[in-house]
Structure 1
Amino acid sequence: MDEGLMSRHLVEPDDGSAGPLLRIAEDRLLPGAGYGSHHHADVDVVAVVLSGSLVHGWGSRPTLRAGDVGVLRAGTGMVHDEVAGADGAHVLQTYLRTATPAQQPGHRVVRWTAGARRGWVDLGRTDARLWLARVPTDETVAVPPGLRVVSSGGRVWAGPVPAVGEGRVTGPATVCVWQLDRTRPLWAVE
């Protein structure tokens, strides 16, 4: 890992209690800093760029900007890197156990559009859903139930949204809500 990377694990269930969820990390990268070339297999990594930009060093080498979501499917295995742009990067990285281990590796980017400030991100899987909102200053939005990660004022925190009723978040903020099939996966520790 690069010296310009600061990473903090927000959620890391190691017992399978969150279904496919392995970890959610908040990463801050200085300009030009990266993760270093590394290997993934049998995992999906969902990167939500909170601020700055991030160049994904695999395939067509797309650049993700604030609000964009990168969905990496490591499948049978791949080696890649991610490097912050000239403005650095603040990223939420969510690691999910793959739903289809024998698939070929792939990466796609869901682009942020100003007209779609909130909604569900198609991850192409049934056991994990992501709802994303960029909430403008002084606006309040109701968020669906699930595991909520909020970035506001440079601070990031994670916690559950009540299953009954809805949680509310006032901006400026970026909100991610994970709805997870909590069926205990086969790989879970007893």
Structure 2
Amino acid sequence: MHQIRPAAERGHTQLSWLHSYHSFSFGSYLDPRFQGFSHLRVINEDRVAPGAGFATHGHRDMEIISYVRRGTLAHQDSLGTREEIAAGEFQLMRAGTGIRHSEFNASAHEPVHFMQIWIEPAQRGLPPSYQQRGFGAYEGLQAIATPDGAAGTLQIAQDVTLYRWQGGALDYRLDAGRWLYLQLLEGDLSGPALRLSAGDGLQWRQPVTLALQGRGEALLFDLPAA
């Protein structure tokens, strides 16, 4: 019915300038049990030292979401985009036919902490594009990215809806033919025979009505069944 991905079992990359935790196989970290979930391919929790970052590199045919939790992330890409992503803001970069970009900590003094998420698009060869948006504090579930970009959400090229949960009750109905992945960013969540702590992930593959209680913050992905 469901599976918990404990925070302590995630992959870990530690460099002089980067601490990164991988919920799924990524780079040199390989776990045959966790190669992705539906179209969700990457959830990395990254902390980048002041003034450091990821040098220019390329991607194709991937929807890449960054959520800055603390600090400011500086972004440049081959579309000519030059932006700073502040804490609380989300970025969605569509790699499509090909894009090159760099991501750096904009501060020379404070680390930046952000989530990096990769989702496979429904169609390959789309034109590359860039979106960035801030979402204010909200108690409960708040839609962040949707297939149609309705109500000011980021528009993602896949049948996926991404929500952010902040504090209070988390009530969610997962319909038949859908899978759910929940990544708890901070705090705790609990329900019948279920308890999550910061950094844990929750996979659910059957219809369910979740009724969880807790405090903190999480990302919830409603995905098509694989």
Which category of TM-score, normalised to the shorter sequence, fits these structures? 0.7 to 0.9
The reply on whether 1:150 has 2:188 as its aligned counterpart is: no
Structure 2 CA distance for aligned equivalents of residues 38 and 117 of structure 1: 36
**3-state DSSP of counterpart to 2:53:** coil
Larger Rg: 2
The reply on whether 1:107 has 2:130 as its aligned counterpart is: yes
Q: Which residue of 1 aligns with 2:18?
A: 5
Structure 2 CA distance for aligned equivalents of residues 104 and 149 of structure 1: 29
Structure 2 CA distance for aligned equivalents of residues 169 and 26 of structure 1: 24
Aligned length: 176
Alignment of structure 1 residues 1-190 onto 2, 5 Å: 3-12=16-25, 13-14=34-35, 18-58=37-77, 59-86=80-107, 87-114=110-137, 118-122=141-145, 123-135=155-167, 140-144=168-172, 145=174, 146-152=180-186, 155-160=198-203, 163-171=207-215, 173-183=216-226
Structure 2 CA distance for aligned equivalents of residues 70 and 129 of structure 1: 15
Q: Structure 1 residues 105, 71: closer, same or farther in 2, change over 3 A?
A: same
Q: Structure 1 residues 53, 155: closer, same or farther in 2, change over 3 A?
A: farther
Structure 2 CA distance for aligned equivalents of residues 128 and 81 of structure 1: 26
**Corresponding letter in the other structure for 1:174:** E
**3-state DSSP of counterpart to 1:131:** strand
Alignment TM-score, normalising by the size of structure 1: 0.80
**Corresponding letter in the other structure for 2:74:** V
Gaps of 5+ in 2: 1-12, 26-33, 146-154, 175-179, 188-196
Alignment TM-score, normalising by the size of structure 2: 0.68
**3-state DSSP of counterpart to 1:156:** coil
Structure 2 CA distance for aligned equivalents of residues 96 and 66 of structure 1: 22
CA RMSD of aligned residues (A): 2.6
Q: Structure 1 residues 143, 66: closer, same or farther in 2, change over 3 A?
A: farther
1:167, distance to aligned residue in structure 2 (A): 4.1
Q: Contact conserved, 1:41 with 1:75, CA < 8 A, in 2?
A: yes
Q: Which residue of 1 aligns with 2:191?
A: none
**Corresponding letter in the other structure for 2:123:** T
Q: Structure 1 residues 47, 170: closer, same or farther in 2, change over 3 A?
A: same
Q: Contact conserved, 2:121 with 2:158, CA < 8 A, in 1?
A: no
1:88, distance to aligned residue in structure 2 (A): 2.0
Q: Structure 1 residues 29, 163: closer, same or farther in 2, change over 3 A?
A: farther
Identical counterparts, % of pairs: 23
**Higher RCO, 1 or 2 (CA under 8 Å, sep at least 6)?**
1
